[in-house]
Amino acid sequence: MMRVAGFIVSPLLFRGNGTALAILLELPPKSIEALGILTSKRSSLKRELQIHCMQDSFCYDIARAKDYLRSYTCSIFDFLKKHYSTKIDTYSYEHLIGAEAVNIVLACWNDFDPLIKAATWEPTLKRSLDEHVGRPLGGEPATVKPEQSAPPIDSITAKGAGSNMGAGYSEELRALLVECRWRPEDIAEKIKIQPRNVYRHLSGKTTPTLANIARYEEAFSKKLNRQIKLKTSVKGQYNVT
């Protein structure tokens, strides 16, 4: 048995006629050229995320980040499948190739937003591969035991922030920004503070003052047409930012 992208994989593969076939527990080694190409793809993904989605370890555009992660997962999968095609029956090992592509992309995310764990993206990326090939990946083992994993990225909303992302003020602010479809610069302009202070609040580096919490609540309430009361508004001891 081995652990691959959240699953326990059996060493037996059952084809359409019910025949059990022994399969390799790992993929063949890659060429030096292939490793270089994968390194380039990883660097490109990190660069796109850093430029278009991140600021001070905060992902301010989850939708765009999701698009990049899904696209690169499919691109890496296609590259790996082509690379392995001269060595193995790629259909029989599609699930392993897909797992490798997902793990490469998740490793890239680990360098970024600490409030959204890499495992949170895993179900989304697996679905994107099934959609990419138009069917479940070939070679899926007959015995698959799902493990408990983090909630999918699509479930992170303002209403679910407490259960999915913890109870801190930074998680609350992040979820509300996502629901409002605002960038940190947007809320900064509305409550009349510097964008860098919003980023610090979102990353957990500093805590908003009581006055700024009140401004946050007012701005979010007006945008969402309902009363927003941050949990942090009943706590004491705030930094002056």
Q: pLDDT tens-digit profile of 95-142?
A: 999 999 999 999 999 888 666 788 889 999 999 999 999 998 876 554
Instruction: Report which of residues 11 and 58 the model is more confident about.
Output: 58
Instruction: Say whether both 98 and 118 belong to one domain.
Output: yes
Give the pLDDT band of residue 40 (cuts 50, 70, 90): very high
In this structure, the answer to whether residues 115 and 174 fall within a common structural domain is no
More confident site: 144 or 46: 46
Does residue 241 form part of some domain? no
Can you give the residue range of the structural domain that contains 105?
Answer: 2-150
Do residues 191 and 214 share a domain?
Answer: yes
What is the arithmetic mean of pLDDT over 35-59?
Answer: 89
- Asked if residues 216 and 173 have their Cβ atoms less than 8 Å apart, the reply is yes
178 and 60, same structural domain?
Answer: no
Q: Is the pLDDT of residue 16 over 60?
A: no
pLDDT of residue 55: 74
| 95: nearest Cα among 170, 9, 36, 20 | 9
* Inter-residue contact 114 to 106 (CB < 8 Å): no
Q: Tens of pLDDT along 203-227? A: 777 888 888 889 999 999 999 999 9
Q: Is residue 156 part of a domain?
A: no
Look at residue 176 and tell me if it is in a domain.
yes
pLDDT of residue 160: 38
Listed residues 93, 122, 150: the one ending a domain? 150
Final residue before a domain boundary, out of 90, 125, 150: 150
45 within a domain of the structure (yes/no): yes
User: Does residue 38 register a pLDDT over 70?
Assistant: yes
| Residue 239 covered by a domain | no
Residue 5: what are its φ and ψ, rounded to 5°? 45, 50
Question: Mean pLDDT score of the chain, rounded to an integer?
Answer: 77
Residue 140 is predicted with a pLDDT of 57
Final residue before a domain boundary, out of 150, 182, 215? 150
**Claim: this prediction has a pTM higher than 0.85:** no
Do 207 and 144 share a structural domain?
Answer: no
The confidence score (pLDDT) of residue 72 equals 97
Q: Long-range contacts made by residues 27-34, C-beta under 8 angstroms, separation at least 24?
A: 27/84, 27/88, 27/93, 27/96, 27/97, 27/100, 28/84, 28/87, 28/88, 30/83, 31/83, 34/79, 34/83
User: Same domain for 187 and 143?
Assistant: no
Please give the tally of structural domains in the chain.
2
